[in-house]
Structure 1
Amino acid sequence: MASRRNEEEGASSSTGAQQPPMIKMMDRRWIHATLFSLEYVTGVKSFMGFIRERFPKGAEILCPCHRCLNQKNSSQEEVQKHILLYGMSSTYTRWIHHGEQSEVHVLEDPVQWNAVDENSCDGRFEDMLNDLYRSQESDGNAGLAEDRDQAASQTGRNESVFAAMMEEAKRELYPGCTKLTRFSFVVKMLHMKSYYRISNSAFSAFLKLLCEAFPDFNSLPKSYEEAKKILREVGLGYISIYVCPNNCVLFRKRYEKYDTCPVCKASRWKDPEKKKVPCKVLRHFPLAPRLQRFFVSRKTAKDARWHKLKRKPDEKEMCHPADGDAWKDFDRHWPDFAADPRNLCLGLAIDGFNPFGNMSTSYSMWPVFIVPYNLPPWCCMEESNFMMALLIPGPESPGKHFDVFLQPLVEDLLELWAGVYTKDVFTGQWFYLRVAVLWCIHDYPALGTLSGRTTKGYFACLHCDKDPLSYLLRNKICYIGHRLRRNNEYSCIHGSKEKPGSFTTEEVLAELEKVRVGQKRKRAEKIVPIWGRRVCLWDLPYWPHLKLRHNLDVMHIEKNVCEALLGTILEISGKSKDTINVRLDLSDLNIKREVQLRENGNTFDIPKARYTLSKEVKFPDGYALNIGRCINADGMRGFWDSDIYKSICEFGRFFRELCSKKLNRDVLERLKEDIPVILCELEKISPQHFLM
């Protein structure tokens, strides 16, 4: 009877209504936690445990880190390292690419739209528009008649635009809605699109579905383009400039109506016979209106004076760009500019990036950023104060045509140097806002792109313009003729040659006059010109007088040095500086005989260098899972000889002191004296290509 009852219960359960599936609750809030915090590390361990339950031990999986974005397969150990170092993609909360089923309920932190703090703009759209309008009101006491007429006519246009904007800001999202207006709803939707990385087509489809599902929402934009038009009315748009496919010219001004390039005769359209789609588009964000907005708000208008009125100068310390010699030298050359603390000093930063992450696709875009330095140090480096001036299209680097793309920005800078009529709401007065770029920030390859000076070959060193001490090896040019200090240990070497000289500003201008625009160098010419072209930045009146025109990004240098150091020590293929060609160069130079290649019949033996670590010493499985707890800095001294360990530690200390928040001038002088000695010690130990 019992067995029959069980069979009946089984039959009834199989034929009757099925029980709902068990829904698992998964906490994904750790994805938004701080890197290396206990919550984040625990979450990464749970993710890797989730992976091991569904994939074999040696199987490769998609990497969901911020860099790879589920576009690249890697080993499970590599994926764990990437997530720990770079963070997991904030939008990847359902692990569908790693075997997670749809019945899992994900618990995650939503975007807190209602959290209002002193820096939040939520709920203050009308105040922002009022500030924007007050900054554009005319000044009846303007000094020049043309300024009064221009300001009055501009105000007449602004009043109608402002009335339309205020009407838009007060427009209800739907009848009876009091929490959101149409304008605030669109702004928040665009914020969500950017935050969650929603594509343009998906965003347009979502808006279209909202309009169809809720007829009362008929005031909503029906596409992404319509949503952007609302922001353009407030001045948050950009200008699209079509570019020649070969980067010859910009189709603007006199070339605006051209269909083909006047230089190379290439068509500006992808398919001239069908719908006219441009081959390349440069996005230009006008600079003057955004810099004028610093004086729309009382807070930012006050902060723009900080470097002059609130900063406490200290001759021994530097904690702000205004403490540097380059800023002080600029003030001495242009005292009328320095007299008004509201005049803005800027930095121009460029760097290429792949918009598709670390995919195999070779694509490079070049954003050009403007950074205002008048603000306090804690505000200078905020993302909200980084202003994109240009977005240069790919897929390749502009190279020698970079100054073609800089033309709209240089025109903006020329206009701002002359002065734009601006209202300061902090004082209620009108003034001429002037702007100057003090320096550019970039890596070493971009130095040649932005300056027009060669950064490779015999004249790669920026300080050796005259008689460079360069030496050609088998496959590389080395710079090995630099003068030793007097108390050197090589007493048999007596060098009497003077150090190479650098060009003065007058000599640089004379060299630029010799540049032949549009002509290629003949192969028979042995003398390679140092300056290959004259970039349009030299059109700025103050550019020849700047003390520091180009700043090398320490972040790139530190990263490259670290990769070279670790790659050489650990003998990582493709990243080690200790290669076969390097050993052959040692034989040609007849130095470091202990590591030169040794002939063994028909083959050569590669002697083990004392700066490399043995691959035979390995951790037990699972021992180095959290390697941060296993490292003992003092215990590292036994792996190398004392001179190697000391040189590497001194090199690391140099970067650490150089990147501190406060720079002491005495420390900088000491670092300037120490770094040649540190580099010489490293050159005595490491390959001659290590720092190249």
Structure 2
Amino acid sequence: MCDDINGLLHDTFRNVEAELGHEEGLPEDAKRFFKLLEDGKQQLYLGCENFSKLSFTIWLFLFKSLHRLSNVAFSDLLVLIKEAFPFAQIPESFNKARNVIRDLGLDYEKIHTCPNDCMLFRKDNEKAENCSVCGTSRWKSIDGVSTNARHPADGQAWKNFDRLYPDFSKDPRNVRLGLSSDGFNSFRTMSISHSTWPVMLMNYNLSPWICLKIEYLMLSMIIPGPSSPVNDIDVYLQPLIDELNELWEPGIKTYDAKTNHTFQIRAALMWTVSDFSALAMLSGWSTKEKLACPSYNKLSHNLDPMHIESNICDTFLGTLLEIDGKSNDHLNSRYDLQEMRIRKELQPVEDSNGNISLAQSSFSMKSEQKRLFCSVLKNVKLPKRCASNISDRVHMKEMKILGYKSHDAHFIMHYLPQVAIRKVFPKNVSLTLIRLGNFFRSICSKVIRPRDLEKLESEIGEITSNLEMMFHPTFLDRMLYFPIHLVNEIKLGGPIHLRWMYFIERSLCNLKALVRNRSCPEASIAEGYLVEECPIFCSR
């Protein structure tokens, strides 16, 4: 492979070469030119004729672009090559490689602008501190330490734990864990009834952008199928509980590579994350009676927004589209109104022939409105990997939406109500549903400002009251009231995107892919997990 690097450099710095003889000293462009010229002549390693140091760096960037490698993946690739071939003259990181490309002229310029869009800080105003039009400073002012919530450490539960156990919290190396468990069918087919229950631990000592990545989740144990452990799950959890007790006190002697000393590491289980069925098994508390709410009973369990959104989405779509078996607007719900002596205009009316007629509710849709509602979801174009193909779940002939996943419900609740319901419902109904979608989108933010929590708490109270006035009592099950507690959950545990089931559901898909021996699915998962865990563990 022969690259005309010298020709590339001379074409790029043609003006610099022409001016070298007319100026004293070397300008910055000339310094970059000679540095690149030197790199272009330097062999990648002794005896290499195909690549120079510069040409190999350019080819690496081409490889990154063609295969869409992230900056982190590219840096890891450079580190791996450097460790395998320490004598090779290659950049040590992505930033150093990018500086080489910038020296070739492939760069961009950042231009500051006035916060009020009055002017650009360029030319004569390039070094100005304030806008020449309105006088506003070009710099952001930071008043004290940020109080925004970005991590569970910003929550009140973490801080209360520190006050209760100062001996534990004074050593930042002590680990704080979350526990999650959920059942799944390991055979990828619904024709076989099989429920495998992995139990996973999450390490919340890590940064918020990596603590829930699949490679940092710890598969602590697998409860085998074919049936769910139900109330006997405490029997299977005994080995894990023993290990957690040992980690809590006295701890385990561990080697610290940074200080080159051993120390006694401890761990604490902060909370559990699971859906409602798993909560009933893990806590032993009934989730089907009037005292089912874990917030009311002060259980150390996180309400899962994923299942809350999914259940609310099912209830709304089933009722609004009058899907058989999923609608809460039926004859029995109207008789409930009659028994409760409320909303007389919606109560069933029986004529002299025994025929029963029902008045339309404020949220009822005609066939044309249902068709318009479904057509919006049918024709929606979504960014790649943002959600599954929702249009495949919309059945225009029957005017139904069926078979969507939890992540689809998450996307529908956050973004589609503003589009789909605006023209098919009265203003009071559409505005309430839009406000509910905005509420879910706000609480799922990665950064939460404390002043927004009070507004959200008041907002969800008003939304719930409006839902009570519009829909029938049968519509308002426990899931419709759980969002009221989500704001307080953020105050206690920090952002909810670090305490929901979406990442666990994704990890279950990976575990399903490890099943090679269908006669022993759990053993197959355990063996495959160790094979994947070994290189990850050794590379960090």
TM range (shorter): 0.5 to 0.7
Query: Are the structure 2 counterparts of residues 314 and 398 from structure 1 closer, same or farther at C-alpha, using a change threshold of 3 Å?
Result: farther
Query: Are the structure 2 counterparts of residues 415 and 316 from structure 1 closer, same or farther at C-alpha, using a change threshold of 3 Å?
Result: same
Query: Are the structure 2 counterparts of residues 435 and 119 from structure 1 closer, same or farther at C-alpha, using a change threshold of 3 Å?
Result: farther
- Residues of 2 paired with 1:595 and 1:364: CA distance? 44
1:278 paired residue number: none
Identity %: 39
Q: How does 1:314-393 map to 2 (within 5 A)?
A: 314=145, 316-357=147-188, 359-393=190-224
- Residues of 2 paired with 1:397 and 1:652: CA distance? 34
Q: How does 1:267-666 map to 2 (within 5 A)?
A: 314=145, 316-357=147-188, 359-417=190-248, 418-462=250-294, 549-600=300-351, 601-617=353-369, 618=371, 626-628=379-381, 633=418, 636-666=421-451
Aligned residue among 453, 465, 470 for 1:668: 453
SS at match of 2:227: coil
* 1:561 and 1:691 in contact (8 A); partners too: no
Amino acid at match of 1:627: V
Once the two structures are TM-superposed, the CA of residue 394 in structure 1 deviates from its matched residue by: 2.4
Deviations 1:443-463 (A, max 9, x none): 223222211122222332446
Query: Are the structure 2 counterparts of residues 394 and 579 from structure 1 closer, same or farther at C-alpha, using a change threshold of 3 Å?
Result: farther
Once the two structures are TM-superposed, the CA of residue 583 in structure 1 deviates from its matched residue by: 1.9
- Residues of 1 paired with 2:313 and 2:231: CA distance? 29
Once the two structures are TM-superposed, the CA of residue 328 in structure 1 deviates from its matched residue by: 0.6
Query: Are the structure 2 counterparts of residues 658 and 358 from structure 1 closer, same or farther at C-alpha, using a change threshold of 3 Å?
Result: farther
Deviations 1:39-94 (A, max 9, x none): xxxxxxxxxxxxxxxxxxxxxxxxxxxxxxxxxxxxxxxxxxxxxxxxxxxxxxxx
Query: Are the structure 2 counterparts of residues 411 and 426 from structure 1 closer, same or farther at C-alpha, using a change threshold of 3 Å?
Result: same
Q: How does 1:39-188 map to 2 (within 5 A)?
A: 117-119=74-76
Q: Tell me which moved more, 360-369 or 677-686.
A: 360-369
1:681 paired residue number: 466
SS at match of 2:290: helix
- Residues of 2 paired with 1:110 and 1:342: CA distance? 38
Once the two structures are TM-superposed, the CA of residue 366 in structure 1 deviates from its matched residue by: 1.7
Amino acid at match of 2:224: P
* 2:202 and 2:217 in contact (8 A); partners too: yes
- Residues of 2 paired with 1:594 and 1:667: CA distance? 39
Once the two structures are TM-superposed, the CA of residue 110 in structure 1 deviates from its matched residue by: 11
Deviations 1:346-401 (A, max 9, x none): 11112222223462444322221101011111111211011111211223322211
- Residues of 2 paired with 1:620 and 1:326: CA distance? 43
Once the two structures are TM-superposed, the CA of residue 440 in structure 1 deviates from its matched residue by: 0.5
Deviations 1:95-121 (A, max 9, x none): xxxxxxxxxxxxxx9999xx9744469
Query: Are the structure 2 counterparts of residues 690 and 436 from structure 1 closer, same or farther at C-alpha, using a change threshold of 3 Å?
Result: same
- Residues of 2 paired with 1:655 and 1:620: CA distance? 21
Higher RCO (C-alpha 8 Å, min separation 6): 2
- Residues of 1 paired with 2:329 and 2:468: CA distance? 12
- Residues of 2 paired with 1:596 and 1:584: CA distance? 7
- Residues of 2 paired with 1:686 and 1:358: CA distance? 37
- Residues of 1 paired with 2:283 and 2:417: CA distance? 45
Q: How does 1:196-211 map to 2 (within 5 A)?
A: none
* 2:373 and 2:420 in contact (8 A); partners too: no
* 1:351 and 1:367 in contact (8 A); partners too: yes
Gapped runs of 5+ residues in structure 2? 1-65, 85-142, 383-390, 392-415, 478-540
Amino acid at match of 1:626: N
Amino acid at match of 2:269: V
- Residues of 2 paired with 1:116 and 1:455: CA distance? 44
- Residues of 2 paired with 1:313 and 1:445: CA distance? 44
Deviations 1:291-324 (A, max 9, x none): xxxxxxxxxxxxxxxxxxxxx9956310011111
- Residues of 1 paired with 2:154 and 2:232: CA distance? 35
TM-score for the superposition, normalised by structure 1 = 0.42
* 1:569 and 1:611 in contact (8 A); partners too: yes
- Residues of 1 paired with 2:453 and 2:374: CA distance? 45
* 1:316 and 1:666 in contact (8 A); partners too: no
Q: Tell me which moved more, 379-388 or 587-596.
A: 587-596
Query: Are the structure 2 counterparts of residues 620 and 463 from structure 1 closer, same or farther at C-alpha, using a change threshold of 3 Å?
Result: closer
Query: Are the structure 2 counterparts of residues 391 and 623 from structure 1 closer, same or farther at C-alpha, using a change threshold of 3 Å?
Result: closer
Amino acid at match of 1:556: H
Once the two structures are TM-superposed, the CA of residue 635 in structure 1 deviates from its matched residue by: 7.9
Deviations 1:557-593 (A, max 9, x none): 1111111111111112222222332222122112122
Query: Are the structure 2 counterparts of residues 364 and 632 from structure 1 closer, same or farther at C-alpha, using a change threshold of 3 Å?
Result: closer
Amino acid at match of 1:342: R
* 1:318 and 1:324 in contact (8 A); partners too: yes
Query: Are the structure 2 counterparts of residues 604 and 621 from structure 1 closer, same or farther at C-alpha, using a change threshold of 3 Å?
Result: closer
Query: Are the structure 2 counterparts of residues 431 and 635 from structure 1 closer, same or farther at C-alpha, using a change threshold of 3 Å?
Result: closer
Once the two structures are TM-superposed, the CA of residue 690 in structure 1 deviates from its matched residue by: 2.0
Once the two structures are TM-superposed, the CA of residue 637 in structure 1 deviates from its matched residue by: 2.7
* 1:116 and 1:122 in contact (8 A); partners too: no
2:536 paired residue number: none
2:402 paired residue number: none
- Residues of 2 paired with 1:375 and 1:436: CA distance? 14
* 2:417 and 2:433 in contact (8 A); partners too: no
SS at match of 2:220: strand
RMSD: 3.5
- Residues of 2 paired with 1:116 and 1:421: CA distance? 33
SS at match of 1:377: coil
- Residues of 2 paired with 1:581 and 1:625: CA distance? 32
SS at match of 1:608: coil
Gapped runs of 5+ residues in structure 1? 1-108, 128-311, 465-501, 504-547
Once the two structures are TM-superposed, the CA of residue 662 in structure 1 deviates from its matched residue by: 0.5
Query: Are the structure 2 counterparts of residues 314 and 349 from structure 1 closer, same or farther at C-alpha, using a change threshold of 3 Å?
Result: farther
TM-score for the superposition, normalised by structure 2 = 0.53
Once the two structures are TM-superposed, the CA of residue 603 in structure 1 deviates from its matched residue by: 3.4
* 2:417 and 2:437 in contact (8 A); partners too: no
* 1:567 and 1:575 in contact (8 A); partners too: yes
Aligned length: 316
1:496 paired residue number: none
- Residues of 2 paired with 1:640 and 1:580: CA distance? 22
- Residues of 1 paired with 2:445 and 2:458: CA distance? 18
